[in-house]
Amino acid sequence: MSSRERKKDKGIPTGVVTRLPIYLRYLTTLRNKGVSRVSSAQLGEALNFTAAQIRSDLSYFGSFGQQGYGYDVNELLHHVSRILGLDRTYAMVLVGAGNLGKALASYENFRKRGFEIRAIFDIDEHLVGNYHACCIIQHVDNLENYLKEHPTDIGIIATPGDVSQSICDIFVRCGVRSIWNFSPVHLHVPEDVIIEHMHLTDSLLRLSFRLNEREQRD
Amino acid sequence: MSSRERKKDKGIPTGVVTRLPIYLRYLTTLRNKGVSRVSSAQLGEALNFTAAQIRSDLSYFGSFGQQGYGYDVNELLHHVSRILGLDRTYAMVLVGAGNLGKALASYENFRKRGFEIRAIFDIDEHLVGNYHACCIIQHVDNLENYLKEHPTDIGIIATPGDVSQSICDIFVRCGVRSIWNFSPVHLHVPEDVIIEHMHLTDSLLRLSFRLNEREQRD
């Protein structure tokens, strides 16, 4: 089956999507080091994937690389960036200006990649009116009005779990089609809304699970 | 193949490990609502898995539930907690007291689950000596000495990417066997060290990928 047929098929498998940012990060490192060419074997060794896996992943997006030559780092980086949607900017709105929200708003890497937090909302009267990362923190009561006037690509939820579904509902009602959720709650969204969960506790629990599994084995 | 035979086989599949924290979170919600019994079909519907998937996942850990009755919520919660290693405490050390590090150190949910940040280190002289979340922030030069005297289960890295590998190496050299990495870098650890990456940018890129994929389809 050719890459084009597979692509037409239905979406890219989750595993491939998960690996693309890993390729992007590593290729960026290579480019910054002045490396101009890389083979699938070298990519595989650096990233702990097989060379076949890498060739298969990249084949979803067209035919890159040449047998015996490998990949041109700049060209591959350009393709992977485009595939990941990094050839445009994204308007983002953050709700929740606690420590985590502040960390997200200050994260320079996002802005560099085109992900711009354009407004920050919180319920805490002590925070409202303060500047953080070039935004004035606004009261969450204004969220709906703001969204009506400012088309927003991605809604970021960094609130406590007990209010996150209601914030999510406001985003959805106002036409925001992608949600990035940091609250420790499984949020419900309509089928046409994309949601990406960052559950910190889940990640920590995977670590403790493996730690215990290993200690029991040793 | 019985659950016991499978368990002996070799480790639990990553997919199952990924879903266990999701079960834990939902079962905790159920218990807090006073629900005492749940079927695999109900679990599946709430979490977007099939009932067969849930029965298969839980079968890795022994036989819970009864046909026609379902699962006893408290009992299942107890089992899942134990499987995830929540019947003990974990000594954690955090390096990097920026916004993200501070967010992690203040996160009450971790402490409630037995994950205790016992020391915080940073290189910034303005932060060193300050209290945060019941710890005095220490200079990172003291990290190695601290670790030699205080057995530590989990090392948390919330530093910029250019220093994270050297911090990781100190953790490993001092016998820390699990690393929770928030820096935007792929860290190298020996085979017997467990590492869990939380790459925020990767998560955001998965979102932008899907957003673009959908826009191109529409």
pLDDT tens for B151-180 read 999 999 999 989 999 999 999 999 999 999
Is B2 in the A-facing interface, judged by CB distances under 8 Å?
Answer: no
Closest approach of chain B CAs to the CA of A66, in angstroms?
26
Confidence grade of residue A169 (pLDDT, cut at 50, 70, 90) = very high
Closest approach of chain B CAs to the CA of A104, in angstroms?
8
Q: How many residues are recorded in chain B?
A: 218
Extended strands (E) in chain A: 37-38, 71-72, 90-95, 115-122, 131-132, 135-139, 154-157, 178-181, 194-197
- Greater model confidence, A217 or A137: A137
Is A21 in the B-facing interface, judged by CB distances under 8 Å?
Answer: yes
In chain A, residues under CATH classification 1.10.10.10 are: 3-83
State the pLDDT at residue A181: 97
Region of B48 (left: φ > 0; alpha: ψ -120 to 50; beta: rest) is left
Query: Which of A3-7, A23-27, A104-108, A167-171 is the most confident on average?
Result: A167-171
Q: Which of A18, A98, A113 sits opposite B206 (nearest CB)?
A: A18
The DSSP-derived string for A171-184 is HHHTT--EEEE-SS
**Judged by CB atoms within 8 Å, which residues 101-160 of B form the interface with A?**
102-104, 106-107, 109-110, 113, 115, 153-154
Q: Region A25-39: what's the mean pLDDT?
A: 92
Q: Region B48-69: what's the mean pLDDT?
A: 81
State the pLDDT at residue A6: 39
CB contact under 8 A, B203 and A194: no
Q: Region A81-96: what's the mean pLDDT?
A: 94
Average pLDDT value for chain B: 89
State the pLDDT at residue B215: 82
**Number of CB pairs, chain A paired with chain B, less than 8 A apart:** 174
DSSP helix/strand/coil, B109 = helix
Superfamily of domain A90-202: NAD(P)-binding Rossmann-like Domain (3.40.50.720)
State the pLDDT at residue A4: 39
Confidence grade of residue B109 (pLDDT, cut at 50, 70, 90) = confident
Query: d(Cα A197, Cα A94) in Å, to the nearest integer?
Result: 14
State the pLDDT at residue A144: 98
Q: Which of B151, B70, B81, B72 is nearest to B116 (CA)?
A: B151
- Greater model confidence, B150 or A11: B150
Identify from B99, B162, B192, B214 which residue to disrupt to test chain A contact, counting A C-beta atoms within 10 A and taking the largest count. Answer: B99
Q: Which two tokens stand for residue A18?
A: 């998960």
Q: Region A114-130: what's the mean pLDDT?
A: 95
Query: d(Cα B218, Cα B213) in Å, to the nearest integer?
Result: 9
State the pLDDT at residue A8: 41
Q: What architecture (CATH level 2) is domain B3-83?
A: Orthogonal Bundle (1.10)
Q: Region B61-67: what's the mean pLDDT?
A: 70
Q: Please list, in sequence order, all residues whose beta carbon lies within 8 angstroms of the beta carbon of residue A215, skipping any fewer than 6 positions away.
A: none
In chain A, residues under CATH classification 3.40.50.720 are: 90-202
Q: Which of A26, A196, A208 sits opposite B207 (nearest CB)?
A: A196
Q: Region A62-72: what's the mean pLDDT?
A: 76
State the pLDDT at residue B10: 55
Question: Angle at the Cα of B152 (from B91 to A102), degrees rounded to 5?
Answer: 60
Residue with tokens 């299942």: B76
Query: What is the pTM (predicted TM-score) of this model?
Result: 0.84
ipTM: 0.86
CB contact under 8 A, B86 and A203: no
Cβ-Cβ contacts under 8 Å, A103 against chain B:
98-100, 102-103
Cβ atoms of B93 and B118 within 8 Å: the answer is yes
State the pLDDT at residue A10: 55
Q: Which of A93, A215, A62, A206 is nearest to A158 (CA)?
A: A93
pLDDT at residue B1 tops 70: no
DSSP state letter for B70: B
Closest approach of chain A CAs to the CA of B100, in angstroms?
5
State the pLDDT at residue B183: 92
Q: Which two tokens stand for residue B14?
A: 């990553």
Mean pLDDT lowest among A28-32, B94-98, B99-103, B105-109: B105-109
Is A168 in the B-facing interface, judged by CB distances under 8 Å?
Answer: no
pLDDT at residue B2 tops 50: no
Q: Region B15-20: what's the mean pLDDT?
A: 87
Query: d(Cα A193, Cα A203) in Å, to the nearest integer?
Result: 24
Average pLDDT value for chain A: 89
